[in-house]
Structure 1
Amino acid sequence: MFIRSRRDIIDGSTGRRWALDANDGVMTTTGAIQGFMGAGADMTTVSFAAAIVLITGALSLAAGTFAELAQERGHQRRAVERQQVLLARSPEEEFSDLEEHYSNLGLDAPLAKQVATQLTQRNALAAHLETDLGLLDPPPPAWQPWWGGFLTVLGFISGALPLTVTVLLVSEDVRAVASISVVVICLTMSGVVAWASGSGTAGRAIARSLLTGLFVAVVAFSAGLLLEAIDQFVPQIDVNRNN
């Protein structure tokens, strides 16, 4: 069976979400590693930093996704409950609102009334949720925010783990080249997935992913160099010194 389009390769929203989370993983880890290396940290410190960023970055991003989805689910549930109360309290007024909605869309009065009548008879609540609030589906189940957070963790780790493993396991004489290669490969893959999910053209998606990631690496390394230079001129303060 032939693939008819890129949308047959991967689900759009899932692919775009993974690409964003993976990019976060790559760029956050790259930024931390390059920053510490620019500041002159030894490889033990850099390795610990990479591992810590992998863990805390994934958890913090997952927490944000969970909070966002849970808040959206709560909003939808409150909207449904509010609409149910309105339908029970004043069904005639709600029917008139539905009829007026379709009249405003350009239907003549008899046809607008017919459409409103059929939709009300079929599912009045769904009709009003769609026309008034733009909700086409019922609120997601309670596990959906947890599942979204879990997928975010997987996306972040898939971007951060390759570079972290490279820093931890590759010998020092080839670590720099290997790290850059891993970053380029990961960013290219996330760009391909973003394109396959419907995000512009392949070349632009890959270029955007590479340029943003490499920009973060350069800025972080430069910031580390700056801090290292400042450290050479700022007197060290002994916090344990007795007054």
Structure 2
Amino acid sequence: MSVDLTTPGSTLPAPREHAGEPHLTHTSVRLNWLRAAVLGANDGIVSVAGIVVGVAAATTARGPILTAGIAGLVAGAVSMALGEYVSVSTQRDSERSLLETERRELLEQPEAELAELAEIYRAKGLSADTALLVAEELTAHDAFAAHAEAELGIDPDELTNPWHAALSSAISFTLGALLPLLAILLPSPSLRVPIAFGAVVVALAVTGFGGAVLGGAPRLRATARVALGGALAMAVTYGIGHLVGLAI
């Protein structure tokens, strides 16, 4: 169906609704959260696996392994949460400062800001007249939102919440850490290390694959890198734990 835009009164057809198709901004935010959750779980698996495997190499007693594993889980979850909170808070403060500067400039020099917005769209390929028309219409609709998106790449309504980021990191780390802890505590002493080792490598392969899918990276390479890295970490801590156990 063709539409004659030169005919007075002609209108564009109404856009089709795409059921289940999220807004691009929401999709990006969701992917970032999923990626952070995968990385947090991966950190929990590797960190606690290294601790419990190292302790298991030094002693067969369940108590020290449990104590070390719980301590590593709690310390890691708190550290991840604090780190994420500080990082996101700093980013949020910077974004708020930039938005406040933009709001002030719109109030103090609206003509210069309009020209700047038009230049942004002209640089993207629009003609000078069309770019100015787009800038004028966006300014009339919501000048602040238009400048925040075009100049800063920030959606004022989608700023990341540092508390949400901290809680997400703590939960994902804890869930990841529980796997090696349970895998080494539940089996008999003679099977603890082999079972934990296998469970951790499989779990890391899954998180590596998931992270590659979310990040658009080569899947085989990312999966192998994460799994082999975790296996190396456990091998090193097992060797150190064994030497310490012999020395004691």
Is TM > 0.5 for Structure 1 vs Structure 2? yes
Extract structure 1 runs of 4+ deviating beyond 6 A.
none
Matching residue of 1:76: 95
Aligned: 1:209 with 2:209: no
TM-score by length of 1: 0.79
Which whole-Å CA distance do the structure 1 matches of 2:232 and 2:32 have between them? 26
Which structure is higher in RCO with an 8 Å CA cutoff and minimum separation 6? 1
Match of 2:77 in 1: 58
CA 1:180–1:25 in 2, change beyond 3 Å: closer, same or farther? same
Q: Residues of 1 paired with 2:125 and 2:85: CA distance? A: 41
Q: How far apart, CA to CA, are the structure 2 residues paired with 1:93 and 1:152?
A: 43
Distance 1:111 1:196 in 2: 39
* Alpha-carbon offset, residue 100 of structure 1: 2.3
Output the amino acid matched with 2:224.
A
Listed one character per residue, the Cα deviations across residues 173-200 of structure 1 (whole Å, up to 9, x for unaligned) are 2212221122123213213422442443
Instruction: State the alpha-carbon separation in 1 of the partners of residues 147 and 233 from structure 2.
Output: 46
Deviation at 1:49, TM superposition (A): 0.8
The correspondence of residues 1-243 of structure 1 with structure 2, limited to 5 A, is: 12-38=31-57, 40-41=58-59, 43=61, 44-140=63-159, 144-225=161-242
Report Cα offsets for 1:71-104 as digits up to 9, x if no partner: 2222222221111111111111111211222233
Q: CA RMSD in A?
A: 2.5
> Mind listing any 5+ residue stretches in structure 2 that lack a counterpart?
1-26
**Which consecutive unaligned segments of at least 5 residues does structure 1 have?**
1-7, 233-243
1:124 Cα deviation from its structure 2 partner: 0.9
Greater shift, 71-80 or 59-68, is seen at 71-80
Identity of aligned residues (%): 29
Q: Determine the structure 2 residue equivalent to 1:239.
A: none
Retained in 1: the 8 A contact 2:184–2:196? yes
Could you tell me how far apart the structure 2 residues matched to 1:195 and 1:103 are?
A: 36
Contact 1:77 1:139 in 2 (8 A): no
